[in-house]
Chain A
Amino acid sequence: MSKQPLPNAKERLRLFLSECGRRARGLCDSLRRQPNRIDSRFVLAFRYRYWEREARGLELLKEWLSPEQFAQYEAKSYFEVTGCHSGKRYRINRGTSMNIHELDGAGRPRLGWCFAPQGHLVAGDVMLAQKIALETDERGALAVANRFSVLTGPRTTLLH
């Protein structure tokens, strides 16, 4: 694992928990006003907004993927990009952190990279920013990224 304390992941978790707390307080208030039933509109609205945001991000991502990347993502929930400086291949998995794997010559993950845009963005946006960064400024992206180990079957790569 990286020596870095994963500040961005912590920030994301903090924001997510803060959002959950705010929603939970709203739900409590709603229950206080109507103690005999859960306000289903509140729950539905929360779910809708969450999924709407996620869907918007994925839609944008798919618009910007190449036809090959799009097909790969549809089939496997990940897509691969080529670093503009090294020519190395990277796999961007669905997610918002610790979701990039550098591939070896045989297409197997050899190590992980973790970087993302600042702020609380949805998965589609994060993956799109990662793709553009690796394809247009690989060195710049990796300069801010943290490395992490990936399991490669019987042996494990450990990086610090």
Chain B
Amino acid sequence: MATLIVMDHTGDTRHNFDAKNADALLKAEERFKELTGAGFTAAVRTAFGEAVVKRTFDPNAEETLFFPRLVGG
């Protein structure tokens, strides 16, 4: 089971999907495009634990994290 984790005011919202299911994968990709289109940054973790920013949907990622656009405080 793969997960899209979206940061929000509740802490985060998680969208789980079966990466082996073509329909679920398509929906996840649509959500990815929706979020990144809205200014969210998507990041995944490598096997070594490093964060890598993703501009396109990675169907092999177990966890993809989204955080809102950064602004100066």
Chain A residues within CB distance 8 Å of chain B: 4, 6-9, 12, 52-57, 60, 64, 66-67, 97-98, 114-122, 124-125, 128-129, 131-133, 135-137, 140-141, 144-146
- Judging by beta carbons under 8 Å apart, are B67 and A128 in contact? yes
Majority SS at the chain A contact face? helix
Partner of A125, one of B12, B49, B52: B12
- Judging by beta carbons under 8 Å apart, are A64 and B65 in contact? yes
21 contacts between A and B (CB under 8 A): A8-B71, A8-B73, A53-B9, A53-B10, A56-B10, A56-B12, A57-B11, A64-B51, A66-B49, A116-B73, A118-B39, A118-B68, A118-B70, A121-B8, A121-B9, A128-B7, A129-B7, A129-B67, A136-B52, A145-B73, A146-B72
The CA-CA distance from A114 to B70 in the complex, in Å, is 10
Partner of B73, one of A115, A128, A133, A137: A115
The CA-CA distance from A68 to B43 in the complex, in Å, is 20
Question: Which residues on B sit within 8 Å (CB–CB) of A135?
Answer: 50-51
